[in-house]
Amino acid sequence: MHRSTLTLITITAVVVVIAFVLRDSSEETSTEPTTTLVTDQSSSTTSVPETTTIALPTGIAVCDFYTDIVPSGVVTSPDLVEASGLAASRTTPGVLWSHNDSRGTATVYAFTTAGEDLGSYEVPGAFALDWEDMSAGPGPDGEGFYLYVGDIGDNFGIRDGLITVYRVLDAVPTDSDGEFSGSTPFTYRYPEGTHNAEALFVDPVEPALYLVTKGRDEAFVFKGSLEPADGPADLEIVSTLFLGAEVSGADMSPDGTTLVLRGYETVWMWHRDTKVSVSDMLKSEPCKAPSPEERQGEAITFDAELSYWTTSEGANPEIHMVKRQSIED
């Protein structure tokens, strides 16, 4: 989060916390929209490919398949000025979803990979205390295409160990402002204390939700269930990372083989056989992939071809793509 916003957050913290407490976070909500996003998903849709293990050649690291940083466009939405999270649509190739940091309403923005504005969409029943990251992924049974938006930031330790993640359908943008047809809130509780996190990802293989805290010396990785619960679900710590820099974004590739974390100047990657758990994967040393130069880059996502995309906070930020090269390349 940019330091210039911290004073604003402090002033509004009391009002925000009151509204946060009053919010009903245990039921799926749906309101009458101006424009309701539609989706062509069916109940039999699965978001995980049947073959999910890609063996790397001997002596080759996954980062070796990423070399060129390509500017693809500029975000044109006038309201997306603190792009903190990013998710590549699984239902509509060429579409990216994003959201603002701790500013504004509970709104997700759609735009093309070239930056063309595709509208803004409210998340019904949601509240934006400090949205920090988002990810595309399946439901708890590995079926469907969803977006998970994380209200997980906590610079001042005011959450008392509780955070919320909202799930909406990864719908087809309508080119006009509106809202999602409904949302499912997930409330999670840290095992002890409270943490500031700015990165989340969904493992499509398990499936499960993961959070990565933003610590200067160490980052904790927590796992949470994707099953709706009547009350707060307990998070489980699965790893502690010593990366030497703060983690500001994360994503897991759609096939579940590759994990990426980003900081303001570094991109880290891990690769696994999908029979290996996330916690065991994180026991290995990451490699470093190309990191685009951005004003305050916090957002990163994989597309279906395993290329990754980034953008930055600020008005009209650039969008960058780092293409995944094939083995033959």
Model confidence pLDDT, tens digit, residues 62-89: 999 999 999 999 999 999 999 999 999 9
* C-alpha to C-alpha distance for 278 and 259, rounded to whole angstroms: 9
Q: Report pLDDT for 327.
A: 60
329 in any annotated domain: no
Q: Report pLDDT for 103.
A: 65
In the numeric block, which tokens belong to residue 262? 């980003």
Residue 109: give the domain boundaries.
3-25+56-324
For a pLDDT cut of 70, what percent of the chain falls above it?
82
Q: Report pLDDT for 102.
A: 76
95 in any annotated domain: yes
Summarize pLDDT for 173-224 with one digit per residue, the tens: 987 789 999 999 999 999 999 999 999 999 999 999 999 999 989 999 999 9
pLDDT at 123 over 60: yes
- The CATH number that applies at residue 163 is 2.120.10
Number of domains composing the chain: 1
* C-alpha to C-alpha distance for 232 and 19, rounded to whole angstroms: 17
pLDDT at 256 over 90: yes
Summarize pLDDT for 39-69 with one digit per residue, the tens: 445 433 455 545 446 678 888 999 999 999 9
SS3 93: coil
89 in any annotated domain: yes
* pLDDT band at residue 6 under the 50/70/90 scheme: very low
Do residues 20 and 129 make contact, with C-beta atoms less than 8 angstroms apart? yes
pLDDT at 140 over 50: yes
Q: Give yes or no for a cis peptide into 207 (omega within 30° of 0).
A: yes
Q: Residue 186: which residues within 8 A CB-CB, separation 6 or more?
A: 164, 165, 166, 167, 209, 224, 226, 228, 229, 233
Summarize pLDDT for 9-29 with one digit per residue, the tens: 444 443 344 444 344 443 444
87 in any annotated domain: yes
- Looking at residue 200, the DSSP 8-state letter turns out to be E
Burial code (b: 16+ CB inside 10 Å, e: under 16) for 21-48 equals: eebebeeeeeeebeebbebebeeeeebb
Q: Report pLDDT for 311.
A: 97
Q: Which ranges of 216-322 would DSSP assign to H, the alpha helix?
A: 278-281
* pLDDT band at residue 326 under the 50/70/90 scheme: confident
Half-sphere exposure of 172 (CA within 13 A, CB side): 7
pLDDT at 161 over 80: yes
Helices (H) and strands (E) in the chain, counts: 2, 22
42 in any annotated domain: no
Summarize pLDDT for 295-317 with one digit per residue, the tens: 899 999 999 999 999 999 999 99
* C-alpha to C-alpha distance for 262 and 248, rounded to whole angstroms: 6
The neighbouring-strand residues paired with 112 are 95
Do residues 276 and 283 make contact, with C-beta atoms less than 8 angstroms apart? no
Q: Which ranges of the chain would DSSP assign to H, the alpha helix?
A: 6-22, 278-281
Q: Report pLDDT for 177.
A: 86
Q: Report pLDDT for 175.
A: 73
The neighbouring-strand residues paired with 146 are 137, 169
43 in any annotated domain: no
275 in any annotated domain: yes
**Of 247, 18, 70, 230, the residue nearest 150 (C-alpha):** 247
* C-alpha to C-alpha distance for 110 and 123, rounded to whole angstroms: 13
For a pLDDT cut of 90, what percent of the chain falls above it?
78
35 in any annotated domain: no
Average pLDDT along the chain = 88
pLDDT at 135 over 60: yes
Q: Report pLDDT for 245.
A: 96
pTM: 0.86
* pLDDT band at residue 32 under the 50/70/90 scheme: very low
